[in-house]
Structure 1
Amino acid sequence: MEDKEKKAPQSDLGASAPLVTIVALCHNHAPFLREALDSILAQTYPALEVFLVDNGSSDASPQILGEYAAANPSWKLTLHTQNLGLCAGFNQAYRQSRGAFLIDFATDDVLLPERVAQQVAAFQRLPASYGVVYSDAELIDEQSRFMRHHFRRTAKGLQPRPASGDVFVDVLERYFISTPTMMMRRATLDELGGYDETLYYEDFDFWVRAARNWHFHFLDEVTTRKRKHPQAMSRTAYLPSDPHLDSTIRTCHKALGLCKNPRELTALAVRLRWEMRQTVRWGNYRHSLAFYALLRQTNNVGFLDWLLARWSRLRG
């Protein structure tokens, strides 16, 4: 932090400024950490509660986090000696927090200055049935250079328009939400009991469980800079060693139990079919057959699905 005296903004809390909790999760983010934490300090929104959580970093992250915590005494610092995982690391802070809304902030990303203010204003315009506000993001590289936007932008605006309202079918069918842009209503997390700590990653499971009973709103603003770098990208995607796949399968099991009609089952089948084909493509026949077993339960199996399952059995 270049200015050691720099402090988080202070302001009297008014009725129009509900408390927002930012849970800043760090694991070996030292090269990007100052930019991330400075982006919290730069927020124009006054009513912030900040939790700094280090998940067993082996680089200089704990020292940097300690420096910022010392300069901002209201910030709460937790240094875990081991990596608890994303879900448990977030949950520990969430359960101590008081914010009416929460942001799960990975400290290799960057919050734009109006991020919190814009999303709180959106929530205040929406009915209480809305549990999530998400937005567009800039994708940046390791040097913080702009790469592209998360959503495709044309002269006519975003094409296609991201889903709002009842998005349960949408989250079953495809990935479209930029996870780092989400602001979550506390009541939504409370209803779900936070993230499922038995899973390797959090977002797909959260979307499915939250979207069953809560509405999502797309805010047409760029609020976040999401960093793309080798450490953030899985090099084992869809291989037998991919740690995400077992969690994806477990989430799809949950989704199957939450589906209420043929349209929702058909949407889940679209995802299962895509996941199955990716695993076959990379020679991961064990997970391919697990996705196929779920696909059969949706009553949406096609001839090509059957052929791929037969191939997987022969190869596996």
Structure 2
Amino acid sequence: MDTRPLVSCIIIFLDAERFLREAIDSILAQTYDTWELLLVDDGSSDGSTAIAREVASKHPDRIRYLEHPDHVNRGMSASRNLGARASRGDYLAFLDADDVWVPEKLTEQVPLLEAHPRAAMLYGRSLIWYSWTENPDVSADHVYDLGVEPDRLIEPPRLVFLMLENRVQTPTTCNALIRRQVYEEVGGFQEAFRGMFEDQAFFIKLCLSHPVYVADACWAWYRQHEESCCAVAERSGVSRALRLPLLDWADGYFASEGIRDPWLRLALLRELVPYRYPWIAQLRKGPRHWIRGARKRMRVAFNRLTHPRSPEEPPTRGAE
């Protein structure tokens, strides 16, 4: 009898003592039962290591603790890959330590992915979760537009365009369910990426070559807090600049894989222009600036012609 878990759940964490138990509890609360959980420690120095070891010791039949050699920090992509290599399930489901799943996530996702055998992955919406605090403001919680008509299979490379534009919700690690075979085919996560957008390189690789099912369902709550990578980048004013490594990587990957779709190349170039050629971006602003200046001068001239002032009248501020 095959007793392997069908779904391998992987939580990566780094100094996540504040939220880790809640993330683990959201997996323990799943209404679907055929899963294993791998807790991957990316070099924590707080109490999260002890929490993960404790939980694993209480559930040795289905929860395991992993770490990099010498307890070093290797980054999110390397930690996800470590968990995937050690896992045994046919499907992979990732969760960051500060996010949570809704109890029905796997119960609804597994049959849906099995009903669409061509789909390499499926994902739905993530709740942008502000109301987790002691003084919850539920009105701040929201979801983003998916950018495609949901509840259907999306053929490649449609989703890649949306990821390059970064204007709608595209796949996120916390709400996706991925076939292990496809994960291995595309080479897993890009370990050279550290920080923001590290997961998007993996999703670009997958969505370039495989259909993906996009569902109109919310299966994960994406916690908003001041310690997250996104919040830190926003406060430091570098969030936009952090997209450049991803775009540069995509440019090289398209070339190495022989991606010649002209519309895809154009979409990538449009995103790269402000970074590589900022003078072109300035030129784009130029005509609008010149037109506004010309209109102002025309208004001044018209006012002078229609409202001539007497020789003793001092000039108005806008007329000179």
Calculate the TM-score normalised by the size of structure 2. Answer: 0.73
In the TM superposition, 1:258-273 aligns within 5 A as: 258=257, 259-273=259-273
Partner in structure 1 of residue 79 of structure 2: 89
* RMSD (Å) for aligned C-alpha atoms: 3.1
Q: Tell me what 1:280 maps to.
A: none
Match of 1:33 among 11, 20, 34: 20
One-letter identity of the residue aligned with 1:171: V
The answer to whether the 8 A contact 1:140-1:226 is kept is: yes
**Structure 2 counterpart of 1:58, from 38, 45, 69:** 45
Report how far residue 96 of structure 1 moved.
Answer: 1.6
1:148 counterpart residue number: 141
**Pair 221,95 (structure 1): closer, same or farther in 2 beyond 3 Å:** same
Say whether residues 1:48 and 2:48 are aligned partners: no
Which of residues 200, 203, 222 in structure 2 aligns to 1:204?
200
- Matching residue within 80, 100, 105 for 1:110: 100
State the secondary structure of the residue aligned to 2:203: helix
2:60 maps to 1:76: no
- Confirm or deny that 1:174 pairs with 2:162: no
What is the rounded CA distance, in whole Å, between the counterparts of 1:267 and 1:243 in structure 2? 18
Q: Can you give the 5+ residue segments of structure 2 that lack an aligned partner in the other structure?
A: 285-320
1:67 corresponds to 2:54 = yes
Distance 1:236 1:170 in 2: 25
8 Å contact from structure 2 (residues 156, 209) kept in 1? no
Deviation track 1:160-217 (CA, whole Å, cap 9, x = no partner) reads: 6358411424323423315121111111111012112122253221121111211111
Pick closer, same or farther for the CA change 1:85–1:214 going to 2, 3 Å: same
Aligned residue in 2 for 1:213: 209
TM (norm. structure 1) is 0.74
- Structure 1 gaps of 5+ residues are 1-11, 153-157, 277-287, 294-302, 309-316
More displaced 10-residue stretch of structure 1: 142-151 or 236-245: 236-245
Does the CA contact (< 8 Å) of 2:127 and 2:141 recur in 1? yes
2:232 matched to 1:235? yes
> 1:228: how far off?
1.0
What stretches of structure 1 move > 6 A for 4+ residues in a row?
A: none
Question: In the TM superposition, what is the alpha-carbon distance from 1:268 to its structure 2 partner?
Answer: 2.1
- d(CA) in 2 for partners of 1:184, 1:135: 12
SS in 1 for 2:103: coil
Identity %: 27
Q: Is the 8 A contact 1:22 1:104 kept in 2?
A: yes
**1:134–1:31 CA distance, 2 compared to 1 (3 A):** same
Deviation at 1:224, TM superposition (A): 0.6
Q: Distance in 2 between matches of 1:96 and 1:117?
A: 23
1:133 aligns with 2:132: no
Whether the aligned pair in 1 keeps the contact of 2:123 and 2:214 (CA below 8 Å) is yes
Structure whose alpha-carbon radius of gyration is higher: 2
CA positional deviation for 1:240: 10
Secondary structure of 1:197 counterpart:
coil
Rounded Cα–Cα distance in structure 2 between residues aligned with 1:241 and 1:177 = 17
